[in-house]
Structure 1
Amino acid sequence: MGSAAWGDNAQGQLGLGGTQTAHTAAPMPGMTVFSQVSAGGSHTIALAKDGAVWTWGANYYGALGNGTTAPSSYRPRCRGCPVSSMSPRISTAVSPSTPPAHCGLGG
């Protein structure tokens, strides 16, 4: 079974492929199962069980960590990228690479 999301989706932060608000749990596209999810005000970062880091939603100030400021509705940041920690308070995933890579800084 994949993941589900619900709530405000004005910036695509639910990862459902659009911006329609979901008043009940809506299945996310694909069968990705996430082990950790951290939501900002208008973007989301998730760590899949396979180790891939996914980011979607608004991309103010590069919050999605994809090198742009364009929004994304549902796509992986990097596949197999080892993540050492995720902060639920500020939507940040930290990779133990050299130099350290930060994905989705912002709140």
Structure 2
Amino acid sequence: MTIRHNAPMPTEIRHYMRAGQHPSRSVACPFCRALEHKPCRVISNGRHLAEPHPARRSAWAEATACCPHCQVEPGIPCHIDGVPLSQVHARRLLEAKETAA
């Protein structure tokens, strides 16, 4: 009889073990409510999607990267003249992709 002891994996290592997934899967999807590290899904039928929703990508970029366009820190939404945007600037998304690579 074999006894297996499964130790919890540190989050730093877990991130690299999920290398085949899009890095935005590290945050929950605000559109379909998919949990962290789970694929996005179609709300009407529950089918899993290969790529994350744009809202999830924006949430990931907002949480991880500074915006070179409006000069905000991670965690703060992009804005134009003080009015928050629903999506992030394209430059912020590129910045997040570069830092994740």
Q: TM-score range by the shorter chain?
A: under 0.3
Higher relative contact order by CA 8 Å / sep ≥ 6: 1 or 2?
1
Structure 2 length as normaliser, TM-score?
A: 0.26
Structure 1 length as normaliser, TM-score?
A: 0.25
Name the structure where strand makes up a greater proportion of residues: 1
